[in-house]
Amino acid sequence: MADDTPVRDVTDDEVAFFRDNGWVRLPRLVDSGHVTVLRDRALDYLAARPRTVTSQVDQAFGQSRDIAETDGRFRDLALAPPLGRAAVRLLHGVAGVRVQVTNLLIKEPGGHGATEFHQDFPWMPMDRSAMLTLWLALVDVPADMGSLRFYTGSHRHGVLGRSFARDGDDQLSQHPWLKELELSPPLDLAAGDATVHHALTVHGAPANHRDTPRVSFTVTYFDADALYTGTPYRQTDDLGLTVNRPFGHPKFPVVPHA
């Protein structure tokens, strides 16, 4: 059951830090014993994933998308009430959240490069930007293995455009003024630590300079009241969603937060 998943609530200080900065680090978010179970499952799924490299994203990390749709442990984590409460509090002014996507990510030494700096929101078919991603380290992730870096306060600068669409379209190339903002420090994460970033926060990661893979689980939450805009997006194109109606579809479950 989701309620049994050993995950803690966020603190008031963490909520305040996120609102100011657009990102936050959450130490020991998930119990380390449980993270070991999740890591072993993640490695099995990632070993079985298709290895095609068709996009710039594929060059930065491998993925096993929608993992919570088929694996009960990851579903229970994504729907754990402490995470629902966290997303509602961090996003401010939302009454509830839905899951947009869950994912397992692997950044292999040598095989993958850096994750170019980007915003998540510019691709999304939602009519509002209240959205965040929780990035949970499933192994120890020292900074030089590729923990995320964030441009602090960039979430206050609106929608800055798509990256991963053309060569040289990372956010720093498109918007050199971002360098005036503070870059978050290199973060050494232990397995079970997480970072959270707003969908408007510019973020990226260095390549993995260690000799073992960087492995993480991500879940993206968005305002449960957001309306579908009809913007073309592979995940939603064929779901039969109605423009100007909420995302009332089993792929976007509302997360308990009582």
Contact set with ligand AKG (CB under 6 A): 60-61, 105, 107, 115, 120, 133, 135, 203, 205, 218
Query: For ligand AKG, which is the closer residue by CB, 220 or 236?
Result: 220
CA gap 206, 147 in Å, rounded: 7
3-class SS of residue 223? strand
Which residues does 167 contact at the CB level (< 8 Å), separation at least 6? Answer: none
Query: For ligand AKG, which is the closer residue by CB, 137 or 255?
Result: 137
Query: For ligand AKG, which is the closer residue by CB, 110 or 240?
Result: 110
Query: Per-residue DSSP letters for 177-217?
Result: GGGGSPBPPP--BPTT-EEEEETTS-EEE----SSS-EEEE
Q: How far is the CB of 1 from ligand AKG (least distance, A)?
A: 27
Query: For ligand AKG, which is the closer residue by CB, 71 or 120?
Result: 120
Q: How far is the CB of 79 from ligand AKG (least distance, A)?
A: 19
Query: For ligand AKG, which is the closer residue by CB, 39 or 203?
Result: 203
CA gap 133, 125 in Å, rounded: 16
**CA atoms within a 13 Å half-sphere pointing along the CA-CB vector of 178:** 26
What residues pair up with 183 in beta bridges, in sequence order? 151
Torsion of CA 251, 38, 104, 253, to 10 degrees: 10
Which residue bears the tokens 């996009």?
Answer: 55
Q: How far is the CB of 54 from ligand AKG (least distance, A)?
A: 17
Residue 103 near residue 71, CB atoms below 8 Å: no
Return the axis-axis angle of helices 12-21 and 81-91, rounded to nearest 10°: 50
Q: How far is the CB of 94 from ligand AKG (least distance, A)?
A: 19
Residue with the closest Cβ to ligand AKG?
A: 115
Query: For ligand AKG, which is the closer residue by CB, 38 or 205?
Result: 205
